[in-house]
Amino acid sequence: MSMLKKAMIYLGLGPDEHYESYEDPIRSSQPSVAVPGRYPAGAEAVAGPGVSVASGPAPDGAVMGRTVRPINLASAEDGGQMDDPDADSSVRVVHSMPSKAMKPHAVSPDAFNDAQEIGDRFKSGQPVIVNLQAVDRDLRRRLVDFSSGLCYAMGGKMDRVADQVYLLTPADVEVSRGTARRKRSQ
């Protein structure tokens, strides 16, 4: 037998005749049991191969050490609400918070130490425009890496607005394109 066939059989990818002697440990020797009256008429318990289905209440109202209590569903005439005695009767409305609109802070770094100013402004929730046009290539690469890592870590967004000019936007802030263009040109 070739090495490939042995590997396929080992991984369970071989022909079925090699597995006829194995027993399926999932199969149960007990038949499926259905208790009448447990489910509404027309509902059926469906079991996959080797799965025993036992319908009906759990002994002593416990399943795996936990207490089970039924939830009574109200009919459509009652408004379709569930009848739960523990439910809070007050209605809680959740409103989404509008995005903050802030003016971006423009930075033209001269050294990598200026990255701290970029990070501090961004962490405080203020958008930052980073102008790297007058920066040498190595410093530009380091600042772009820093800025992209900062945006990723804080859940923000980094957009290229012009050649070597980037807009860093925090997660909950929106900057209009007109504002970004005006700040970039300054």
Domain boundaries, the chain: 1-38+47-61, 101-185
Q: Could you tell me the pTM of the whole model? A: 0.44
The residue ranking higher by pLDDT, 68 or 184, is: 68
Q: What is the pLDDT of residues 140-183, one digit of tens each?
A: 999 999 999 999 998 999 999 889 999 999 888 877 666 555 55
Mean per-residue pLDDT for 32-38? 54
Structure tokens at 110: 């001269």
Vertex 84 angle, CA 36 and 89, to 5°: 160
What is the distance between the alpha carbons of residues 119 and 147, in angstroms, rounded to a whole number? Answer: 8
Structure tokens at 159: 């957009």
The residue type at 20? E
CB 164 within 8 A of CB 144: no
Q: What is the pLDDT of residues 111-152, one digit of tens each?
A: 999 999 999 999 998 999 999 999 999 999 999 999 999 999
The residue type at 181? R
Domain 101-185 matching CATH 3.30.110.150: the answer reads yes
CB 45 within 8 A of CB 55: yes
